[in-house]
Amino acid sequence: MKQEFTISLFTEDHIGILGQITIILTRRQINIDSITASESAVKGVQLLTIVVKTTNEMIQKVARQMEKLVDVMKVFVHTSDQIIYQEIALFKVTTKGLMSGNVIDHIVRAHHARILEVSPEYIVLEKTGHKTEITELLTQLEPYGVLQFVRSGRVAITKQVKELNAYLKEMDEANRFKTEPIFN
């Protein structure tokens, strides 16, 4: 049975790693629902956060394949209940539509959104939350004239602090061992 998984992939900051990851997923016919790349807590280490829907068996195979790549340091796979995650969305909506009555005030408050910019032609709103919350706001804004809409990929951190901290400590010790001279 397919379910949603979030892959947290720690990699060296080298060109081409995303292409290699994409090939692994494409071969297994797994579509990427969301992808985000960012710095990690370790200097020179990038974090790719990839959201996919597949089976538990398949995600384990894919994770093992990804870990075999030269530039990949570690791959973690989590279900949505094992992580804390958010997405961000921007909505550009016609000013005329939202300014009628106090519609904008109601929508912004009800969805915990923020107004980023107001001009005579448009209003830009920001919403941070889960995909369902963002989709709900988009649906509510559509009758007022959505000019543009963009949603980021998922950003996530694990609930299990030990898992990531233990791995980062191991990486730090391994790097220290490589730089210290060895005497016989």
Q: Is 37 inside a domain boundary?
A: yes
pLDDT digits (tens, 9 = 90+) for 6-29: 999 999 888 889 999 999 999 999
Q: Is 90 inside a domain boundary?
A: no
Asked if residues 158 and 164 have their Cβ atoms less than 8 Å apart, the reply is yes
Report pTM. Answer: 0.80
Q: Is 69 inside a domain boundary?
A: yes
State the residue range of the domain holding 46.
3-83
pLDDT digits (tens, 9 = 90+) for 82-91: 999 999 999 9
Taking CA atoms, 145 is separated from 99, 125, 157, in Å, by: 12, 13, 35
Domain CATH for 48: 3.30.70.260
Mean pLDDT, all residues of the chain: 88
- Upper half-sphere CA count for residue 127 (Cβ side, 13 Å): 25
Q: Is 42 inside a domain boundary?
A: yes
**Alpha helices (H) in the chain, listed in sequence order:** 17-27, 56-67, 95-98, 103-110, 131-141, 161-179
